[in-house]
Structure 1
Amino acid sequence: MDVTLDEQTRRLLPLLPAFVAVAEVEQVTLAAAMLRAPQPTVSRAVARVGEVLGVPVVERHGRGIRLTDAGRALLPHARQAIAALGAGVDAVRSAEALARGTLSVAFQTSLGESVVPALIKEFLAGHPAVRFTMTQGARRTCLDALAAGEADIALVSRLVPAPAGLDTLTLFQEPLVLMVPAGHELAGRTGATLRDAVRSTFITLKHGYGLRGTVDALCAAAGVRPTIGFEGEDLHTVRGLVAAGLGVSVLPPARHPVHEGVELRLDEPVTTRDIGAAWSPQNTSPTLAAFVAMLRAGTSVARVQAVGARAGGVPDAGASVR
């Protein structure tokens, strides 16, 4: 691309702000105040525009001035040139803010093993200088952090329908399985329903966690009222309690082999939960915008979803319980 400027254009460029300001207010004194420049400097700049072009661009009109035909012809192009340069400056500032930005992510604890690391890894590949701060906890805790301005984005389940005042994006549907101890009466089967397991003690996450809300909704839809024996705060603990023979649980499929426990396909219905991102539309951070754009592209999300499907051996088809 040839960016060589002819001599006339090169001489005009630094004079354009003064010319446009005078053209808009038709008064040198007011234009000088707007530009925070001495009045004689503004007067000379406008006169210089006419000298460079070889034709006056302003003329006296009463106590003020007005544009000549040449000035009116130049004005829209001068405005466009200034606007384009301003856009370039903004782009540089945005790029610098993104390069040195910090993104605060609040995420549901169950997403910390694979989803969050995969997303951060992909983002840092394109934006290596960005720093992350992370908080994890229950779904409600993450959304509260977002509402309080303590997080830029929340990665949680059950965002359909979207919480009021937030922009949301569904990333994928995560399958759920029924985990039972190795010696359980259902352990030799490949699939089971909640009614099959209703005689067992259930182990769940505590209230406020997204998965607990999903499981409660699923049981209600199936007409099952399980006996809750234990309530944990993370999936590792829940899986450990199941493996110890203390009960059964509805969980996302494990990413790694489960010792002393068996994961069964959950029938009637085959169940998934939506995993998504939420953020405030009032947050104009360029780092957040870049992260959301990456989420919309979905590369890492697709990889995480594929691993989950393989781990659980759960078919794609089925109803979604949110």
Structure 2
Amino acid sequence: MEIRQLQYFMEVANREHFTEAADALHVAQSAVSRQVSNLERELGVDLFIREGRRVKLTPIGKMFLQRINKAMNVIEDATREVEEYLDPEKGTVRVAFPISLAAYTLPTAISAFRLSYPDAKFQLKQALYHDLIEGVIKGEFNMALIGPVPMEEKKIKRKILFTEDVVALLPIHHPLADKSHLHLRDLKDDPFVLLPEGFVFRDIVINACSKLGFKPNIAFEGDDIDALKGLVSAGLGVTLMPEVTLVDSTPRATVKIPLVEPTVTRTVGVITPTDRELLPTEELFYQFIQDFFARLSHFND
């Protein structure tokens, strides 16, 4: 079994098409077909169901792909580890993040890190909450910023970096727009705009409302934070969002108002795997962001 065979197999599996895989690999289709056939012959199983020009993984092929993805990540990490031990300040940090930390939190941390380590490189991946956790566990990446920090999962190590307030965002002409603070119950009759199901921050909002005995009337859904801001700006509803997403500016035609009784907060932190060590450059970044956000918290206090 050769690395090249596995790379060709993975490309075909991901694209479900030999010709497209060959184009992506910049080799002849016959070479890809031959290597995959050799791999199937060596394993003694069919990895693909052929359907004309397209292919689909067999059940054993799906299992094999999962294992090979992990194996290739280990090989890649091993190669990078050797390179980074020679010069960790010039290595690569693979870090994943949720959409709510994309605009300010992660870029701010990376910018500060690059001031000390200007030659460090980053591979960034945006993912949903549960995919961040699974990605760290399965080895797709070694580190993820996340909010809220999952406290029950046993296969990850966690470090809370800070706790942030969740605030209300209202259209500027809303009857409560001139208030200095809001009770969440004040919004129980308003239409809400929220992220779709699958986003954990949606659950935070719904749970906060449920504790006060009401279910938010979800009038609109937006796929990202910017979409929610736009819907509120258009006067189509109210929303709650992490204060960090409004740190640079409040969207046009909206007002940001703190919540009291109850206050709504979420933890933001970093998760890493329990069964793997961080690579040298990743370890530099991991230690850096802990110090960085500790200093920020002290300054804000």
CA distance in 2, matches of 1:295, 1:138: 21
Deviation string, structure 1 residues 173-218 (Cα, Å, up to 9, x no partner)? 1111111111112112121122211111111112222321221221
Asked if 1:221 is matched to 2:179, the reply is no
Q: Is the contact between residue 183 and residue 260 of structure 2 (CA under 8 Å) also seen in structure 1?
A: yes
What pairs with 1:1-322 in structure 2 (closer than 5 Å)?
95-253=85-243, 254-255=246-247, 256-284=249-277, 285-297=279-291, 299-300=292-293, 302-303=295-296
Deviation string, structure 1 residues 235-269 (Cα, Å, up to 9, x no partner)? 11101101111111011231213310111111211
Cα distance, 1:97 vs structure 2 = 5.0
**Length-normalised TM-score, structure 1:** 0.62
Cα distance, 1:156 vs structure 2 = 1.0
Deviation string, structure 1 residues 63-117 (Cα, Å, up to 9, x no partner)? xxxxxxxxxxxxxxxxxxxxxxxxxxxxx97642523321111101111111101
Unmatched runs of 5 consecutive residues or more in structure 1: 1-91, 310-315, 317-322
Say how many residue pairs are matched: 217
Output the amino acid matched with 2:281.
Answer: T
Indicate how the Cα distance of structure 1 residues 93 and 261 shifts in structure 2: closer, same or farther if over 3 A, else same. closer
CA distance in 1, matches of 2:192, 2:212: 15
Indicate how the Cα distance of structure 1 residues 292 and 93 shifts in structure 2: closer, same or farther if over 3 A, else same. same
The structure number with the bigger radius of gyration is 1
Cα distance, 1:275 vs structure 2 = 0.5
**RMSD, aligned CA:** 2.4
Output the amino acid matched with 1:231.
Answer: E
Indicate how the Cα distance of structure 1 residues 232 and 159 shifts in structure 2: closer, same or farther if over 3 A, else same. same
Cα distance, 1:133 vs structure 2 = 0.6
Partner SS, residue 199 of structure 1: coil
Output the amino acid matched with 1:286.
Answer: P
Indicate how the Cα distance of structure 1 residues 182 and 109 shifts in structure 2: closer, same or farther if over 3 A, else same. same
Q: Is the contact between residue 188 and residue 215 of structure 2 (CA under 8 Å) also seen in structure 1?
A: yes
Cα distance, 1:142 vs structure 2 = 2.0
